[in-house]
């Protein structure tokens, strides 16, 4: 088994982002800015937000955090988003999900300006991704894509794991991970199978894959019976169990296999936050281009 070192790849990317932010400040006097919104006091969400704020500080991105009460009505959340849409110091807006009390976040997400939608969840950005012809077009157009899928592709590229012509199985069909990741893999010329909890013969389907991405949210769901020798296995899941943190892959069951795999923690997680910084930088550049072209 060979580990895909998400921490190292993430740190390399953050150093690159820090250098770019420094050049922007030196050349223009401006600093990219990220606004985070946390509704309520969910402990896990608080940890995520703190990590994102710290990451911004580390690379020189301005951070604007807003904490709303758990019972804040949707209208109040949307009013804050609209205010941030109009703030020129804010280039990216992140609404921490899920919202408390199982509230539907769709209306709030749609209120975020597509130019500042660094989670890539706005229908406009999701549409741009789905209409993209290839990976080069996604890069050239600075399309804002969901951070975790973008991080997965970056891990594969930097680990020299071939995507073109390979069979990739994505287990999970969420708007945040499964669907956009499938489109990114297609853009990199993979043959993609999107599987999910109701897929029949899932083990057999996964066994044919050169690349497996597990994003189903079930701890240790994928074992050695799902994976063929030589496959690259990306574990997006993270769950807290009595034994500690674990992913959707049964790591101990596959550790003696001849595969490449991301650990949990230390694999996809660091890349998600790093791609949040990358998207903030993209959003800053997109805004600058728009202003220039007016």
pLDDT digits (tens, 9 = 90+) for 85-132: 999 999 999 999 989 987 889 999 999 999 999 999 999 999 999 999
Compute the distance between CA of residue 267 and CA of residue 6 in angstroms, rounded to an integer.
Answer: 4
| Catalytic hit among 13, 20, 96, 117 | 96
Strand partners, 54: none
pLDDT above 80 for 293: no
| Catalytic hit among 119, 210, 248, 250 | 119
Compute the distance between CA of residue 34 and CA of residue 18 in angstroms, rounded to an integer.
Answer: 14
Mean pLDDT of 196-212: 96
SS3 readout for the chain:
CEECCHHHHHHHHHHHHHHHHHHHHHHHCCCCEEEEEEECCCHHHHHHHHHHHHHHHHHCCEEEEEEECCCCCHHHHHHHHHHHHCCCCCCEEEECCCCHHHCCCHHHHHHCCHHHECCCCCHHHHHHHHHCCCHHHHHHCCCCCCHHHHHHHHHHHHCCCCCCCCEEEEECCCCCCHHHHHHHHHHCCCEEEEECCCCCCHHHHHHCCCEEEECCCCCCCECHHHCCCCCEEEECCCEEECCEEECCECHHHHCCCCCEECCCCCCHHHHHHHHHHHHHHHHHHHHHHHHHHC
Q: What's the pLDDT tens digit per position in 223-275?
A: 999 999 999 999 999 888 888 889 999 999 999 999 999 999 999 999 999 99
Tell me whether the omega of the peptide bond preceding residue 261 falls within 30 degrees of 0, making it cis. no
| Percent of all residues in the chain with a pLDDT value above 90, rounded to a whole number | 89
Q: What's the pLDDT tens digit per position in 51-73?
A: 999 999 999 999 999 999 999 99
| 46 in active site | no
| 158 in active site | no
Q: What's the pLDDT tens digit per position in 128-172?
A: 999 999 999 999 999 999 999 999 999 999 999 999 999 999 999
pLDDT above 60 for 291: no
Compute the distance between CA of residue 294 and CA of residue 292 in angstroms, rounded to an integer.
Answer: 6
| 52 in active site | yes
- Structural domains of the chain in order of their starting residue, each with its CATH number: 28-113 (3.40.50.10860), 147-269 (3.40.50.720)
CB 7 within 8 A of CB 158: no
**How much is the pTM?**
0.94
pLDDT at 292: 39
The residues, any chain, with a CB within 8 Å of residue 80's CB and separated by 6 or more, are: 37, 66, 68
Alpha carbon 77 to its chain's center: 23
| Catalytic hit among 20, 52, 116, 179 | 52
């Amino acid at each position: 088994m060979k580990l895909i070192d998400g921490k190292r790849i993430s740190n390399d990317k953050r150093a690159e982002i820090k250098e770019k932010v420094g050049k922007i400040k030196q050349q223009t006097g401006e600093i990219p800015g990220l606004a985070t919104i946390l509704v309520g006091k969910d402990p896990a969400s608080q940890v995520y937000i703190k990590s994102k704020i710290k990451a911004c500080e580390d690379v020189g991105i301005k951070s604007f955090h807003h904490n709303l009460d758990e019972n804040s009505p949707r209208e109040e959340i949307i009013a804050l988003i609209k205010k941030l849409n109009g703030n020129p110091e804010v280039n990216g807006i992140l609404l921490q999900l899920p919202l408390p009390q199982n509230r539907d976040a769709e209306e709030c997400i749609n209120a975020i300006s597509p130019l500042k939608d660094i989670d890539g969840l706005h229908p406009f950005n999701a549409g741009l991704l789905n209409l993209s012809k290839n990976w080069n077009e996604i890069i050239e157009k600075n399309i804002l894509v969901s951070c975790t899928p973008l991080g997965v592709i970056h891990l594969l590229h930097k680990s020299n794991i071939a995507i073109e012509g390979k069979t990739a199985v994505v287990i999970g069909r969420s708007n945040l991970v499964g669907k956009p990741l499938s489109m990114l893999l297609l853009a990199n010329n993979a043959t993609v199978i999107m599987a999910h909890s109701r897929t029949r013969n899932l083990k057999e389907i996964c066994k044919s894959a050169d690349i497996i991405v597990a994003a189903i949210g079930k701890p240790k769901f994928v074992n050695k019976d799902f994976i063929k020798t030589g496959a690259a296995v990306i574990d997006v899941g993270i769950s807290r169990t009595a034994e500690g943190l674990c992913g959707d892959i049964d790591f101990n069951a596959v550790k003696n296999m001849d595969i490449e795999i991301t650990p949990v923690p230390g694999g996809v997680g660091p890349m998600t936050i790093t791609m949040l910084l990358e998207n903030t930088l993209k959003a800053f550049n997109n805004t600058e281009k728009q202003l220039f072209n007016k």
